[in-house]
Amino acid sequence: MPGELVRFTEVTKSFGPVRALDGVDLSIAPGECLGLVGHNGAGKSTLINLLTGALTPTSGSMQVAGSPGSVHDPRAARRLGIRCVFQELSLCPNLTVAENIRLVHPVLRGWNWSKRAAALIRTSLDTVFPGHCIRAGATVSSLSLTERQMVEIARAFTTTDVAPRLVILDEPTSSLDASTASQLLAHIRRMTQQGCSVLLVTHMLHEVLESADRIAVMSDGRVVGCDPADAHDRDSLVALMSGGTHRASVARLAADRRTGSSPVLEVRAQAGLKAGESLVANEGEVIGLGGLAGHGQTEFLVDLFSARTMAIVAGDRKRDGVFPLWSIRENISVGAYRKHLRHGLLDLASEQASAEDWRGRMKIRAPDMDNPILSLSGGNQQKALFARALDSDARIILMDDPMRGVDVQTKQDVYAMIRAQAAAGRTFLWYTTEMDELYECDRVYVFREGRIMAALGPNEITEERVLQASF
């Protein structure tokens, strides 16, 4: 296509053994609104980070405005006119609205900069969100989440030395109400008519269908389809996201054996769940909690958790998983240290024996269990956390997307362990954003906006059905 603004050719990006982008081909034309959709972990964020200069590709070529390899840092991206509205926002809460504008415009300096910054954001807010009531002198921490998102969006469309040529909007409407969201979509149309390109990344399929000229669908680090928006409807997008392959659910040998077992857990609408279906978990079952990230799965697990009968494997191991200063052995035994008490004191020999036992069973690759936990790779740390949960006598194990960013071999080891433990009668509740892991489950509940939207039985777990319920 002549006059392309952005062209990705065979772009890959790896983080250690994990391939986030696996040969992406994509182009954005000037004045085009390109929609980008895909499940969590499909590679959308990585793509955005490449465009904003926060990451550089592992291989492949990335041309912006005809110049190859020019987006090597955020400043270079800015000079090329690339602006980004991040999903988690990037305003400093301690600064005023005008001061936050200054941060992204190096030329706003010297005499009178604050007046100029205030005028700039006021004009932009008036254009994008007419009727807003945000003062340029207000401190960001005093604004509501909606107002902050409005400021963040309006900031991306301000112009000083470099006019925006490509504005990336990552889930821009997640905290906007219906009327401000439609103001934004109208502004996107105005901007594209003026020749500015927009990359609209969202889970709200109706928004891309409405506003985008073309829609790119990502799945497993690839762009699996990029067609005009008119050619699509909701169902065709969902079908594309599942990779087009209607993978049948793996037949479960163990499924029959479980039919007779008794429910160990039954959660009805009143307990934790909003109106929707109830969740039942039987002894020895692996229950998957699916859906897009942040749709209430973690909150559901936290509500459910009771220390007496359950153990939890944290997803964010840095924040609420490992004790960073302790050894591997201590990190494992802390979950059930009472087992190792003798006369009120810790019996180190018993603790050590148990740690050695887990090293063998979980295949933790460590020369010595007394080494600090941080000497392990991420995957092996996660194995140690699994060992901590399984070492307890909890009958129910809750898992909060624990395999994020873990290599394939480790995953296989852990899946095997989960199978073995389930066969021994333990019940697993497994929140995961990865489709492959849902295939490992006996049954799957799909969450959307804090509710269970679908309950899939052993032979019903397909990517398409999970995605249908997620969107």
> Which residues here bind other proteins, judged by CB under 8 A?
52, 54, 73-75, 78, 84, 86, 89-95, 99-100, 102-104, 106, 108-110, 113-114, 137
DSSP 77-134: HHHTTEEEE-TT----TTSBHHHHHHHH-TT--STTHHHHHHHHHHHHHHHHSTT---
Helices (H) and strands (E) in the chain, counts: 17, 20
Please give the C-alpha separations between residue 79 and each of 40, 49, 191, 193, 360, in angstroms, as whole numbers: 30, 16, 19, 22, 54
- Residue closer to other proteins, measured from CB, 76 or 292: 76
Report the run of H or E that residue 268 belongs to, with start and end.
none
The nearest distance, CB 420 to other proteins, in angstroms, is: 39
Alpha helices in 18-62 (DSSP H): 44-51
The nearest distance, CB 450 to other proteins, in angstroms, is: 26
- Residue closer to other proteins, measured from CB, 31 or 378: 378
- Residue closer to other proteins, measured from CB, 72 or 246: 72
Residues 6+ positions from 131 with CB-CB distance below 8 Å: none
CB 398 within 8 A of CB 286: no
The nearest distance, CB 76 to other proteins, in angstroms, is: 9
Q: What amino acid is encoded at 247 in this protein?
A: R
Closest by CA to 352, choosing from 366, 332, 338, 336, is 332
The nearest distance, CB 99 to other proteins, in angstroms, is: 5
The nearest distance, CB 73 to other proteins, in angstroms, is: 7
Work out whether strand 341-342 and strand 345-346 pair parallel, antiparallel, or are unpaired. Answer: antiparallel
The nearest distance, CB 95 to other proteins, in angstroms, is: 6
The nearest distance, CB 164 to other proteins, in angstroms, is: 14
- Residue closer to other proteins, measured from CB, 113 or 305: 113
CA 92 to chain centre: 22
- Residue closer to other proteins, measured from CB, 78 or 465: 78
- Residue closer to other proteins, measured from CB, 166 or 301: 166
- Residue closer to other proteins, measured from CB, 75 or 189: 75
